[in-house]
Chain A
């Protein structure tokens, strides 16, 4: 007896929803095994990472605060991924967005007025947008692979951050620490739930999710993105320009990453520091896929990944798990998701060896594993 993958006639909708949960489950199991083998308390580690953030109401606010940027970035990435535009550099757009907003914040430092915060946020969006425009230009003009350019620009963004922190933007009263001034109350995001850390960015993330949902499911623009991703030639036939789709996808994901960045800067950080990059831009890739590129799925997946961030911190203090454990968990989640994805198009089947069956009982299982997936005859015509 052995297991065999058999093509489904149609992709399974059930599996589409079940596989993300299955990926999380497999991650948990693999995590227990790995940490036990490494000499830690495996079960304890999992408890710290996945359950403590949920059972401790005091940590819930942390979850929301961590989830918000992940969700906002992932929503933008999902638009691109649906169109087969692979923006891997959201982290860079996130940083540059935050830097652009910080620039406005430093320029308006000491001023008062309700216009200041919107101006900062707008600058944040534009910063992310501009950073994503570079790969978009290179892709549409010279057909340069956007995966490489957007990723490499992330490292440029990090160096830019370091430079600004050590030089031009260093807090003049900061004893030489490489960080900016603290932003003023006119420059920071209001708290929406008094007595917590939950800032305006959290409800904004949900609002953006709803807007993106409507765009993707109801509008011709969302349809365009979907078609360009599914069948580029059909998109061309339908009058959807690949070029404009690339621009749209990269500018939207860049703008949203920039927005997430500036929210983080004027929210939890309230200043700019070299510690600002938290890999949210990369983690958001996992969020987007775990959420099946669907806005509602992304909100849920954002919460799951937020748990791993908060829980990872817990596990560091509680049982001395290394910081890298968080990243490992997130990576495992992505790998397991990619692996179990096969179940959407294939089903697992237990095969009884050919000799052991009567010919007329289980005829469909006589095909060896090496045989091609069945195709209707018309496919070869």
Chain B
């Protein structure tokens, strides 16, 4: 597959990796040419992460061979990988919030640089690749996009010949995504290969020349994404035809079911974001979206609405016209509001207990799962079975522990647990985060059906596509403040993106960079 007789930068041959009970990679072979932007596409659980961990030396294949520039290599650990010239930008950053950009970079590299040298190199890279980032800023003041740039600089310092990007755009604004793509294209034009892992098809279409599609640990197809449609690639990815979410938009909404007036709340945790005077309303039959980059007050908003703040929130919340700011979690549930937090494990569910017990957590108020202080285990089990059946949750039964379910199935279970309570108001955060396309479609359909039945739904999500597909109106949360509400029909994506970027001005960073250079020159 090598271009012009050149050996491929990276070639995998028959990579197989087993975990107890799972075949994560099954005889995977593909190759990446020098300077190629190569997509690794697949649903969650398809084996993408395991594969890149093997390439980066974090894990080791049980079978198969890895070739680097035509020669067989053994990547014993990430250090070896970096020495070969493999750089990796992980989906989850490992940064110290309280330290500066430069300090963080210094901590994450193998080579020893003097402070001055490092500063110079970093400034050079930032300039070469037009990355707006101020090396002296403390990390906790940075946007997610800026944080990602730290990781990219870290990887570029090693002068990689192959850069692996693991789901890099999942938390970026549209503008940040565009900027990232420019950087990646520039790198590729200089001969650096890029292995780009994602399940976002239109991005892959826009960026990549080749795509290797994984399903169930196997390579099911190799294609040129520029010649495929997003739909055809999605169908290769899930191995079936894609179900469309049918949403009949209507302007016919009922009365306000949820009304929030000037809601303020303290931040949760040292790097949380306090809510500042948020006002919104959701009418019966309506789906309203809250867009925004992670860490802009989404967690606080969900906690304040659900009543999880223990009374620390101020302002007014009306459920079906009834004031509930002073009500606790249970009272708000009884009054008709259910919620699904972003984190499935340990917030939405308890991994170590059964699905049946997990229904007792939130469904006991509305579904009569307790009586006289005792848990009605048989009722809980029936309800869990009902959720499993109705939502097609793949589980061995109500007695299966929540932790034994895959992410998508657990999310379906949690969504089902709330939806079957027939709430008047449902607040969900990141309903399809890390969920495979099939499950995501099922969840979206369930939300649409619930709205059609007259419930009011508030969806908090970082996935703008999801919000555009589902919602009637949406607003953007940034720095704990909510933008004005916009009708989704005819909405300007660019404007939404700008609102998402909000106060994290790219311009100060560029200005700082110029200043830096200035002081060097002096």
Interface string of A259-273 (1 = CB under 8 A from B): 000000000000000
User: Is A39 an interface residue when CB atoms closer than 8 A count as contact?
Assistant: no
A132 nearest CB across to chain B (Å)? 23
Using known A-B contacts A364-B62, A377-B47, determine if residue A237 contacts B375 with beta carbons closer than 8 Å.
Answer: no
**Within 8 Å of chain A (Cβ to Cβ): is B119?**
no
Interface string of B340-369 (1 = CB under 8 A from A): 010100111111110001001110110000
Contact A230 B353 (CB under 8 A): yes
Complex CA gap A71/B362 in Å reads: 34
Contact in complex: A231, B329 (CB < 8 Å): no
Q: Mark A47-77, 1 if CB is under 8 A from B, else 0.
A: 0000000000000000000000000000000
B375 touches A218 (CB 8 A): yes
B362 partner residues in chain A, CB cutoff 8 A: 237-239
Beta-carbon contacts of A222-242 to B below 8 Å, as 1s and 0s?
A: 010011001101101111010
Q: Is A364 within 8 A of B167, CB to CB?
A: no
Q: Is A10 an interface residue (CB 8 A)?
A: yes
Total residues of chain B contacting the partner, CB 8 A? 61
Binds A, one of B12-20, B474-482, B501-509: B12-20
- Please determine whether B20 and A374 come into contact, CB atoms closer than 8 angstroms: yes
Residue B27 lies at the interface, judged by CB distance under 8 Å to chain A:
no
- Residue in A218, A364, A366, A371 whose beta carbon sits within 8 Å of that of B20 in the complex: A364
Chain A nearest CB from B294 CB (Å) reads 14
User: Residues of B contacting A241 with CB < 8 Å?
Assistant: 310, 328
Contact B167 A237 (CB under 8 A): no
One of B46, B306, B307, B347 near A231 (C-beta < 8 A): B347
CB pair A367–B60 under 8 Å, yes or no, is: yes
Chain A residues whose C-beta falls within 8 Å of the C-beta of B44 in the assembled complex? 377-378, 381
Most buried by B among A220, A226, A364, A372: A220
Report the minimal beta-carbon distance from A208 to chain B, rounded to whole angstroms. 18
A8 to B341, CA, bound (A): 28
Q: Which of B231-239, B384-392, B404-412, B463-471 contacts A (4 or more CB under 8 A)?
A: B404-412
B59 touches A223 (CB 8 A): no
Known: A220-B373, A239-B333, A376-B45. A233 touches B346 (CB 8 A): yes
Please measure, in the bound complex, the distance between the C-alpha atom of A51 and the C-alpha atom of B347, giving whole angstroms: 48
**Hey, what's the 0/1 contact readout for A10-25 against B, CB within 8 Å counting as 1?**
1100000000000000
A residues 201-229 touching B (CB-CB < 8 Å): 218-221, 223, 226-227
> Shortest CB–CB separation between residue A345 and chain B, in angstroms?
11
Give the residue name and chain of the B residue nearest to A233 (CB).
Answer: B347
CB of B19 within 8 A of CB of A218, answer no
CA distance A230 to B352 in the complex (A): 8
Inter-chain contact A363/B16, CB cutoff 8 Å:
yes
CA distance A364 to B17 in the complex (A): 8
Asked if residues B63 and A363 are in contact (CB atoms below 8 Å), the reply is: yes
| A373 and chain B: residue at smallest CB distance | B19
Is A360 touching B92 in the complex (CB atoms < 8 A)?
no
Count chain B CB atoms within 10 A of each CB in A226, A230, A234, A376 and give the residue with the most.
A234
A318 to B30 Cα, complex, angstroms: 75
Nearest to B18 among chain A residues (CB) is A364
- Flag whether B282 is at the interface (Cβ < 8 A): no
Given A9-B20, A230-B350, A377-B49, A237:B59 Cβ within 8 A: no
Nearest A-chain residue to B352, judged by Cβ: A230
Residues 28 to 48 of chain B near chain A (Cβ within 8 Å): 44-48
**Chain B 38-81 interface 0/1 with A at a Cβ cutoff of 8 Å (1 = within):** 00000011111110000000111011000000000000010000
**A378–B344 CA distance with the chains assembled, in angstroms:** 12
Contact A376 B22 (CB under 8 A): yes
Contact across chains for A360 and B63 when beta carbons are under 8 A apart: yes
Q: How many residues in A have their beta carbons less than 8 Å from beta carbons of B?
A: 39
Residues of A within 8 Å of B58, CB to CB, are: 371-372
Question: Does any Cβ of B come within 8 Å of A359's Cβ?
Answer: yes
Contacts of A194 in B (CB 8 A): none
Report the Cα distance A6→B21, complex, angstroms: 13
Chain A residues, CB < 8 A from B408 = 378
Interface residue from B18, B308, B310, B406 paired with A376 (Cβ < 8 Å): B406
Are A233 and B343 closer than 8 Å at their CB atoms? Answer: yes
Quick one: closest A residue to B333, CB to CB?
A: A239
A237 CB contacts on chain B under 8 angstroms: 306, 308, 329, 339, 341, 347-348, 361-362
- Provide the residues of chain B in CB contact with A355, threshold 8 Å: none
A113 contacts the other chain (Cβ, under 8 Å)?
no
Kindly state whether residue A195 has any CB partner on chain B within 8 Å: no
**Chain A contacts for B310, CB-based, 8 A:** 236, 241, 243
Please indicate the chain B residues that have their CB under 8 angstroms from the CB of A239 in the complex: 307, 328-330, 333, 362, 365
User: Are the C-beta atoms of B357 and A223 separated by less than 8 Å?
Assistant: yes
Q: Within the assembled complex, what's the spacing in Å between the Cα atoms of A21 and B380?
A: 34
Asked if B60 and A368 make an inter-chain contact with CB atoms under 8 angstroms apart, the answer reads yes
The winner among A218, A372, A377 for most chain B CB atoms within 10 A is: A377
If A220-B375, A371-B59 touch, whether A363 touches B18 (CB-CB below 8 Å) is: yes
B16, B18, B343, B347 pick with most chain A CB within 10 angstroms:
B347
A368, B100: Cα distance in complex, Å: 35
Contacts of A233 in B (CB 8 A): 341, 343, 346-347
What residues of chain B lie closer than 8 Å to A380, measured between beta carbons? Answer: 49, 91-92, 166
- Chain A residues with Cβ below 8 Å from B406 are 376, 378
Q: Evaluate contact between A231 and B346: CB separation under 8 angstroms.
A: yes
Chain B residues in 8 Å Cβ range of A223: 357, 360, 375
**Once the chains are docked, how many angstroms separate the CA of A15 from the CA of B344?**
28
Given contacts A360-B63, A378-B408, A381-B44, contact A219 B374 (CB under 8 A): yes
- Give the chain A neighbours of B445 by CB distance below 8 A: none
Give bound CA distance, A223 to B377, whole Å.
Answer: 12
B343 x A378 contact (CB < 8 A):
no
- CB-contacts of B418-474 with A (<8 A): 433-434
Complex Cα distance A8/B401, Å?
A: 14
CA distance A219 to B77 in the complex (A): 50
Is B407's CB under 8 angstroms from A381's CB?
yes
Q: Does B370 contact A (CB under 8 A)?
A: yes
> Quick one: closest A residue to B436, CB to CB?
A378
Answer whether A372 and B329 are a contact pair too, CB < 8 Å, given A10-B401, A378-B406: no
Q: Which of A234, A236, A360 contacts B349 (CB 8 A)?
A: A234
**A227-B361, A363-B63 known; A220 vs B370 contact (CB < 8 Å):** yes
User: Contacts A239-B333, A360-B63, A367-B59 hold; do A234 and B375 have CB atoms under 8 A apart?
Assistant: no
Contact among B347, B360, B373, B404 with A221 in the assembled complex (CB-CB below 8 Å): B373
Which B residues between 481 and 520 are near A, CB-CB below 8 angstroms? none
Interface residue from B77, B328, B365, B407 paired with A378 (Cβ < 8 Å): B407
Tell whether B293 is near chain A: CB-to-CB under 8 Å.
no
Query: Are A378 and B347 in contact, with the CB atoms below 8 A?
Result: no
Q: How far is the CA of A243 from the CA of B348 in the complex (A)?
A: 20
Residues on A facing B (Cβ under 8 Å): 6, 8-11, 218-221, 223, 226-227, 230-231, 233-234, 236-239, 241, 243, 359-360, 363-364, 366-368, 370-372, 374, 376-381
Cross-chain pairs A/B with CB under 8 angstroms, 17 sampled: A11-B352, A220-B374, A230-B352, A231-B347, A233-B343, A237-B306, A364-B18, A366-B60, A368-B60, A374-B22, A374-B24, A376-B19, A376-B45, A376-B406, A377-B50, A378-B44, A378-B407
Given A9-B20, A370-B77, A381-B407: 7 more A-B contacts, CB < 8 Å: A227-B353, A231-B346, A238-B361, A376-B45, A376-B406, A377-B49, A380-B49
Binding site for A on B (CB under 8 A): 16, 18-22, 24, 44-50, 58-60, 62-63, 77, 91-92, 166-167, 306-308, 310, 328-330, 333, 339, 341, 343, 346-353, 357, 360-362, 364-365, 370, 373-375, 401, 403-404, 406-408, 433-434
Closest 5 CB pairs of A and B: A381-B434, A239-B329, A378-B407, A363-B62, A238-B361
